[in-house]
Chains A and B, each alone.
Chain A
Amino acid sequence: MIAEHPVIQILIPLLGAPLCVLTGRGVLAYWLALACSLASLFVATRLLATVMATGPIVYELGGWAAPWGIEYRIGPLNSFVLLLVALLGAMVMLAAKKSVESEIPGDRRHFFYAAMLLCQTGLLGITITGDAFNVFVFLEIAALSSYVLIAMGHQRRALYASYQYLIMGTIGSTFILISIGLLYQMTGTLNMADLAARLPAVGDTRTVLVSFAFFMVGVSLKMALFPLHMWLPNAYTYAPSIVSAFLASTATKVAVYVMIRFLFSIYGPAFAFDRIGVSQILGSLALVGIVIMSAAAIFQNNVKRLLAYSSVAQIGYIVLGISFASENGLTGGIVHLFNHGLMKGALFLVVAAVVYRVGSSDLNAFRGLGRAMPVTMFLFVLGGLGMIGVPLTVGFISKWYLILAAIETGHWLAVALVLLSSLLAVIYVWRVVEFAYFQPRDRDSDPVGEAPLSMLVPTAILVLATIVFGINTEWTVGVARAAAVFLLGGHA
């Protein structure tokens, strides 16, 4: 049965989405979506276990062998990302019920869950496929459903945020499509492995160079790499809280995965890093982004927005790791991709809980919550420590490898800026802590209670994971290192 797992991974949410629509109003849609997410997580876990035990899995759709047919090819890297998406999907879905009931009108909830599942389908599909065009298709599935999800936010500005995301996302997808089209023109194939084999022969042509430029810009838009991040803060701020939690922890990470995959397994490090020297552009954008966006996060008055800016900064860390193109750098980037997903998911779930109880994600809404919602805020503090990179949390592990890689390659400026941004992270996390613990609640506001258990448990699981993986790094770093070695060695 494990042989069929790759396609089952995609089928579960794909079939779940229309079924959710069919169930109509009522809570059935939620339980169905939850069941699908949990099943999806189970499959992802088995896939990762199998890949780590026996090596890559290949699955041919429709029985057509690659390069004619579409194949799903699962190695250490994408099984790791699959697990991240499925895990966050499941945890967010566990927490979703109450939050969705308070934020989404009753006649739209089943559509909401269908869109969530479709988004998950898209993200999982991007990750799992071994076909460049198929990446684009799933990219569009994920993107279209996330536009819908963001537009469901209850403020009117959600529509504008969604519209802007739609324009930017479409430009990004189109650029990627143009790039894939140019590659197809030069090589006549869409299969990634086949592309990698044929590209070196035509690597010096303008067509390939232009395709590379289009790809890099398109994917930078998708993953909100500074300075193409401007769609992200609004999208995360005005989306329903649950959607913010899911997208912030997975969507941009999957885009980063696409970049890693194209850079290392299609264009190849020799072309991308040695011939073009993309490190310089990526590295400098990442560094500027890390510092400016961390600083921008400090001055935000809405916690969702604050976290959104911090996300852009954290994307910078991942990209910085990739730009080193060394084993440690790539390991750091990949492990941070996973770790940051955990941390941001947890933090946004905390915000979702606050929005559920207090009705706002404004900093002022956090006043006095340290007393009113002690467990929730404690989880926020723990998650925040991870963002800072305090030892014994996952954030430290990622930064450790990034700094190690930066020192190895002699990028002293990068070392200094990464350390500086840790200080900035202290400040922006502190701002929330200060409001929650050191500012009294307004007297005339209604008393609030602890977040419901259904939201606390998944948040606590994620926070616990950030600490467990911060102490026992064997597993996460092991997988990330395997992926890094695979990427560097496979096609170098």
Chain B
Amino acid sequence: MMSENRPNEKQYWFDQPKNVKLILRGLYVTCAGLFLADFFYHRHVDEPMEKIFGFYGIYGFVSCVILVLAAKEMRKLLIRKDDYYDSAEDGMPGGNAGGNPGGSKSGGDAP
């Protein structure tokens, strides 16, 4: 996170790796604290599932990891080049007949 190519420029707070580390440490400590808070604080629960120790923390962590990994897999399937639609629309020989939603494009096509 250093901007080596700009030696003269003012150093910002996040440019210092130690500051970033500080932030990360803060995060770890807070997480640990919140996780352990379940020991001391008796949560009011509606569902049996909620009684599990550290349920919310675990759920938040696991679901996010699953989310990102699933999205990553999904991307392999869905990714296309930046100009995918642009090239597609120009490549169409004169668009298609109106009547379907794609017909909207014939409005944009210059004949």
For the A-B complex, the count of residue pairs with Cβ-Cβ distances under 8 Å equals 30
Name which of B13-21, B46-54, B72-80, B101-109 contacts chain A. Answer: B101-109
Assess the B111–A295 pair: CB atoms within 8 A: no
Contact flag A363-B111 (CB < 8 Å), given A424-B99, A427-B98? yes
Select one of A295, A298, A426, A434 contacting B108, CB under 8 A: A434
Assess the A434–B107 pair: CB atoms within 8 A: yes
Q: Which of A142-174 contact B (CB under 8 A)?
A: none
B67-111 interface code vs A (CB 8 A; 1 in, 0 out) = 000000000000000000000000000000111000110111011
Select one of A295, A301, A427, A439 contacting B107, CB under 8 A: A427
Select one of A294, A301, A426 contacting B111, CB under 8 A: A301
Chain B interface residue bracket vs A: 10 to 19
A433 nearest CB neighbor, chain B only: B107
Assess the A427–B104 pair: CB atoms within 8 A: yes
CA distance A431 to B107 in the complex (A): 6
Question: How close is A301's CB to chain B, nearest CB, in angstroms?
Answer: 6
Assess the A423–B111 pair: CB atoms within 8 A: no
CA distance A430 to B95 in the complex (A): 15
Where chain A touches its partner, the secondary structure class is helix
Assess the B111–A427 pair: CB atoms within 8 A: no
Assess the A423–B107 pair: CB atoms within 8 A: no
Assess the A427–B110 pair: CB atoms within 8 A: no
Question: How close is B94's CB to chain A, nearest CB, in angstroms?
Answer: 9
CA distance A338 to B44 in the complex (A): 71
Assess the A420–B111 pair: CB atoms within 8 A: no
Assess the B110–A439 pair: CB atoms within 8 A: yes
B110 nearest CB neighbor, chain A only: A439
Note all chain A residues with C-beta closer than 8 A to B111.
Answer: 299, 301, 363
Chain A interface residue bracket vs B: 10 to 19
B94 nearest CB neighbor, chain A only: A299
Assess the B98–A298 pair: CB atoms within 8 A: yes
Q: Which of B18-72 contact A (CB under 8 A)?
A: none
Question: How close is A300's CB to chain B, nearest CB, in angstroms?
Answer: 9
Assess the B110–A430 pair: CB atoms within 8 A: no
Could you say which of B97, B98, B106, B107 has the most chain A C-beta atoms within 10 Å of its C-beta? B98
Assess the A295–B97 pair: CB atoms within 8 A: yes
Assess the A423–B98 pair: CB atoms within 8 A: yes
Question: How close is A436's CB to chain B, nearest CB, in angstroms?
Answer: 13
Note all chain B residues with C-beta closer than 8 A to A430.
Answer: 107
Select one of A291, A298, A301, A363 contacting B106, CB under 8 A: A298
Note all chain B residues with C-beta closer than 8 A to A301.
Answer: 111
A429 nearest CB neighbor, chain B only: B107
Note all chain B residues with C-beta closer than 8 A to A426.
Answer: 107
Note all chain B residues with C-beta closer than 8 A to A423.
Answer: 98-99, 103
A297 nearest CB neighbor, chain B only: B98
CA distance A389 to B89 in the complex (A): 29
CA distance A410 to B78 in the complex (A): 44
A426 nearest CB neighbor, chain B only: B107
CA distance A165 to B69 in the complex (A): 70
CA distance A295 to B111 in the complex (A): 15
CA distance A420 to B99 in the complex (A): 7
Question: How close is B105's CB to chain A, nearest CB, in angstroms?
Answer: 10
Note all chain A residues with C-beta closer than 8 A to B98.
Answer: 294-295, 298, 423-424, 427
Q: Which of A426-448 contact B (CB under 8 A)?
A: 426-427, 430-431, 434, 439
Given contacts A423-B99, A427-B107, 13 further A-B contacts (CB under 8 A): A295-B97, A295-B98, A295-B99, A298-B106, A301-B111, A420-B99, A423-B98, A424-B99, A426-B107, A427-B103, A427-B106, A431-B107, A434-B107
Residues of B near any A CB (own CB < 8 A): 97-99, 103-104, 106-108, 110-111
| 14 contacts across the A-B interface (CB closer than 8 A) | A295-B99, A298-B98, A298-B103, A298-B106, A299-B111, A301-B111, A363-B111, A420-B99, A423-B103, A424-B99, A424-B103, A427-B98, A427-B106, A434-B108
Query: Closest 5 CB pairs between A and B?
Result: A430-B107, A427-B107, A424-B98, A298-B98, A427-B98
